[in-house]
Structure 1
Amino acid sequence: MNRRTPAATPLALLLALALLGAGCTGGVEGTPGAAGLRDPYFPGLGNGGYDVTHYSLKLDIGPSADDKRRPADGTSSPSAQPSDRPADRLRGTATITARATQDLSAFHLDLAGLDVEGATVEGRPAAVNRAGKELIIRPGSAVEDRLRKGRTFTTVVRYSGSPQTITDPDGSKEGWLRTADGAVALGEPTGSMAWFPGNHHPSDKATYDIEVTVPDPLTAVSNGELISRRTEDGRTTYHWRTAEPMASYLATLAVGRFSTHQSATPDGIRLFTAVDPESEAASEEVLDGIPAVLAWSAEKFGPYPFTSAGAIVERTGDAEYALETQNRPVFPGPPDTALLVHELAHQWFGNSVTPKSWRDMWLNEGFATYTEWLWAADHDDVPVEESFDEAYEDGANWAFPPAGPPSAADISEAPVYGRGAMVVHRLRLAIDDDEAFFDLVRGWTETHRHGNASTDDFTAYVEEETGEDLTELWDDWLYGESRPPVED
């Protein structure tokens, strides 16, 4: 939803890469992993040479260590004490398990801000260089065999500081968003690098263990399932585990005063909701509908792809937008049913079937928007054709093709949502058989369950399954620059 314009490669990074490529003696034979994955909109995002399989994050969060908080201009603010920002500081240890995809002499991690205190690879100290948002890790020769192609290795990074809020090119905020009683971390598309180091591109999914220690009476809520909770000396540690692969932009952490509720759906999906007390009363009825929305969605799209679900509801104004963080979306205030339906649809489209690059964003948002249309048809007597016609008449949906946003600032604009949903509906009309259409959609979510898929993967899949040449549909609705005519 929120995008950052690619920046030029910093001179410091170029110099660091030159040094690493010079073949310093005593290091691992091989080459450095790439500093970016050449994403169409964020070419420096992510890192090459390895694939992360698991993140284990141990985080300690609390107020600023300073006696007084200093505003951006550097002047002191006598009335602003550390307790005003109870989640201002973070101390973390990230243990990253990865598989080398080439012989590595060095590799990169994405991390914005924060101070790195040291790193090890396979338990041995490693050299760490910093160039902008890149950490460059150079292991010693003692672990060279562990960095051969196909081998698994473990990196530990110790870091601390005050996490950053990142401004996207559309002006929205992500990263570490401070709230009245804590903070919430939102990561789409680059914000997760504000609170932990990693390979922050959607194509590299991993499982997670996140242990977060916060001062009482704050609660720490993250993805997956709550494994344990222990309190000692006025601080509580929450251990969250995400057992299914997750892209880092879908990782979240909410720290604050929450009313929490745990239950389960009739088919055994564990539910965990955390709601700011100011939003609790206005959210109750909609959140009680989560089991019904999941059951209805499963009929349309196939089995729910995760073992847990739920929601995090902040108070109004704590964030600017809702985000489909895995297992439990984050809402910036009490959601309505349409928004809940949209974000839960993302658990299939975006979270389980994750885009290979940010150019494939319409696969997330087009299907989630179409799910709203389907819900309105089944529950509110609003035919899908009426929703389609409304989107068709909205000029904002025709600013650019959904599969070709002109810049990083545009990948969460109207065409990606509204025209993306129109692509799905035109496909349904082309198939002209609702049973066959929904079989196709269920097959798509099953084929790419917990994986990544591109627009080309989708169009090829559809044509193979239907046996139809749909070039005209794709040319007009997915890639076309102008509004195509529709039949009366």
Structure 2
Amino acid sequence: MKNFILASLVLFSFQQASAQLITEKDVFTRRDSLHGGLRAERTSYDVQRYDLNITINPEARSIIGYNDITFKVVTHTNMIQVDLFENMKVDSIVFQNKKLDYKRDNDAVFIAFPERLLKGTTETVRFYYSGKPIVAKNAPWDGGFVFSKDSKGKDWIAVAVQGTGASLWYPVKDSQTDEPDNGATVKVAVPNGLMNVSNGRFKGSEDLKNGYTRWDWEVINPINNYDITVNIADYVLIHDNYKGLDLDYYVLRENEAKARKHFEEVKPMMDCFQSKFGKYPFWEDSYKLVETPYLGMEHQSAVAYGNKYRKGYLGSDLSGTGIGLTFDFITIHESGHEWFGNSITSKDIADMWIHEAFTTYTEAVFVECNLGYDKALAYINGQSRNVKNDRPIIGFYGVNKEGSGDMYYKGALLLNTIRHILNDDAKWWKLLLDYSETYKKQIIDTETVITFFNKETGKDLTPLFNQYLRYKNIPVLELRTQNNRLEYRWKVNVENFQMPVEYTYKGKTTRMNVTTEWQKFDKKITADQLEFNTKKMYYNIQK
């Protein structure tokens, strides 16, 4: 797995395409704990590699095959937990040519070994399985397969399982704490005339002489469980190379011409993101966009694209400024996840803001690269209309539970706030680049992010992060008049909170630091005489 660094949209009329929020619950079940928790049967082994070999039957909507799970034993153990949704059948589990005993508990499969596995050894189990995976009702917001047809009536199939769990369709250690250190192979047999596209590099195909052709793919980088994917259709490959990076686009045959023109946007995006966040993190595996029958998903090195070659988000602008119609939202946002989410990954789904806040901010970064600072500032503040302030951004740990959908836009506005607290763009861009490079291909948590930002800025930003992430309300700047003197303070939930504000008085712009204690203005003045700039820091005003 990626070494875990020990320091330990939002649902509105348009739903964000990048991750599906699981159903709100008041009580968590054993199933939740088995999925989200860390127990000895999980922590005792470290996945090194997955080698998936399956056949997908579109007519039956079924899967049959196996996954070879290679792992290193971390602590002596007689049992490990592998996950597979309980509607899928365990056909057998084989270790050293012998079938193993196992016990199913909800979606968890507890595998018993006849002899203790010793710390430091590397082992492989072959997990045979079959069944009909859950079909999504509204991918990507609910997890599952999508069985669709193209305009010619040919099968067009894809899968999206973020939040729901990769164990929906293949046996896996379904925890973000563990990724295969040495990558994975994905071999998928599909009916002749169709192609399967998965992560990484194409390694070849084989006609199985039974009406099916197997398509073999390999990714050599660590990869999130939910990023491993299949995409099945009558695809056409558009190949390009930009400054040494292979760019591959797999699109429906009927869309080849429009795709060639539309995906030229990838090149300025790569220039922008690599200048701000560092070299594309999965260079060895190439960059791909794969046309899907659902809107989009950040599948590593095989980004799912379903925005129908339109600018904006389904032809609309989520910021309400018009600026969002200058680029394809799905291409930019989902590709931003290659740096934030796929390269830098959160240990627990409760910290998914580490994926979504930074990735949503990449949209504004792209705008700034192409249209300038003022447009970027207008764009990111336009997104504030989608913030609900309904629940904390951080979810519940150990039960596979995300926090509020505000992790997208409120999270991005938090980053915009930190940028302007620094008030030094050279330091800000260095901070983002250093963050991306420091934790490249690693698994981290919220405390790691805060510690890094505190150290690199030389400021104690902990109260700021806590207010925006752990409480639903944003800071409120309270203003009152006492004895003809204006007084001000922050109204927040955390202690030791302070943040500067910028205001204009008689044509002169000034900044002042505000704390949770009442402070008096240094001159006789009323609140109405001040114009506060709420575009640089995200807060409300109460007079």
Question: Could you tell me the TM-score, scaled by structure 1's length?
Answer: 0.81
User: Which residue is 2:290 aligned to?
Assistant: 312
User: Which residue is 1:133 aligned to?
Assistant: 107
Q: CA deviation at 1:411?
A: 3.7
Q: Give, in whole Å, the separation in 1 of the partners of 2:469 and 2:332.
A: 24
Deviates more, 1:109-118 or 1:376-385: 376-385
Q: Which amino acid aligns with 2:291?
A: V
User: Which residue is 2:394 aligned to?
Assistant: 403
Deviates more, 1:129-138 or 1:338-347: 129-138
3-state SS in 2 of match to 1:246: coil
Alpha-carbon distance change, 4 to 391 in structure 1, aligned in 2, over 3 angstroms:
closer
| Contact kept? 1:120, 1:139, Cα under 8 Å | no
Q: Give, in whole Å, the separation in 1 of the partners of 2:343 and 2:474.
A: 31
User: Which residue is 1:31 aligned to?
Assistant: none
Q: CA deviation at 1:408?
A: 8.5
Alpha-carbon distance change, 269 to 111 in structure 1, aligned in 2, over 3 angstroms:
same
Q: Give, in whole Å, the separation in 2 of the partners of 1:355 and 1:410.
A: 13
Alpha-carbon distance change, 468 to 91 in structure 1, aligned in 2, over 3 angstroms:
same
Q: How does 1:370-385 map to 2 (within 5 A)?
A: 370-381=361-372, 383-385=375-377
1:421 equivalenced with 2:442 (yes/no): no
1:176 equivalenced with 2:197 (yes/no): no
User: Which residue is 1:69 aligned to?
Assistant: none
Q: Give, in whole Å, the separation in 2 of the partners of 1:449 and 1:200.
A: 21
Q: Which amino acid aligns with 1:419?
A: K
Q: Give, in whole Å, the separation in 2 of the partners of 1:284 and 1:412.
A: 38
Q: CA deviation at 1:277?
A: 3.5
User: Structure 2: where are the runs of 5+ without partners?
Assistant: 1-18, 150-154, 312-327, 478-500, 503-531, 533-543
Q: Give, in whole Å, the separation in 2 of the partners of 1:215 and 1:396.
A: 45
Q: CA deviation at 1:359?
A: 1.6
User: Which residue is 1:230 aligned to?
Assistant: 206
Q: Which amino acid aligns with 1:326?
A: Q
Which of 364, 378, 388 matches 1:386?
378
1:252 equivalenced with 2:229 (yes/no): yes
Which of 47, 52, 57 matches 1:52?
47
User: Structure 1: where are the runs of 5+ without partners?
Assistant: 14-33, 64-81
Q: CA deviation at 1:232?
A: 4.3
Q: How does 1:52-451 map to 2 (within 5 A)?
A: 52-63=47-58, 82=59, 88-112=61-85, 113-141=87-115, 144=116, 147-165=117-135, 172-180=141-149, 181-206=155-180, 207-233=183-209, 234-266=211-243, 268-307=244-283, 308-314=286-292, 318-319=293-294, 321-335=295-309, 336=311, 337-381=328-372, 383-392=375-384, 394=385, 396-404=387-395, 411=402, 414-451=405-442
> 1:27-56 CA distances to partner (integer Å, 9 max, x unpaired)?
xxxxxxx955527xxxx9x93321111000
Q: Which amino acid aligns with 1:387?
A: Y
Q: Which amino acid aligns with 1:258?
A: Y
Q: Which amino acid aligns with 1:179?
A: S
Q: Give, in whole Å, the separation in 1 of the partners of 2:222 and 2:444.
A: 14
Q: Give, in whole Å, the separation in 1 of the partners of 2:281 and 2:299.
A: 14
Identity of matched residues, %? 24
| Contact kept? 2:93, 2:126, Cα under 8 Å | yes
Q: Which amino acid aligns with 1:9?
A: R
Q: Which amino acid aligns with 2:221?
A: E
Q: Give, in whole Å, the separation in 2 of the partners of 1:151 and 1:94.
A: 20
Q: CA deviation at 1:300?
A: 0.5
Runs of 4+ that moved beyond 4 A: 34-37, 278-282, 404-410
Q: CA deviation at 1:190?
A: 2.9
User: Which residue is 1:75 aligned to?
Assistant: none
User: Which residue is 2:5 aligned to?
Assistant: none
Question: Could you tell me the TM-score, scaled by structure 2's length?
Answer: 0.73
The number of equivalent residue pairs is 429
Alpha-carbon distance change, 126 to 409 in structure 1, aligned in 2, over 3 angstroms:
closer
3-state SS in 1 of match to 2:352: helix
Q: CA deviation at 1:407?
A: 12
Q: CA deviation at 1:330?
A: 0.7
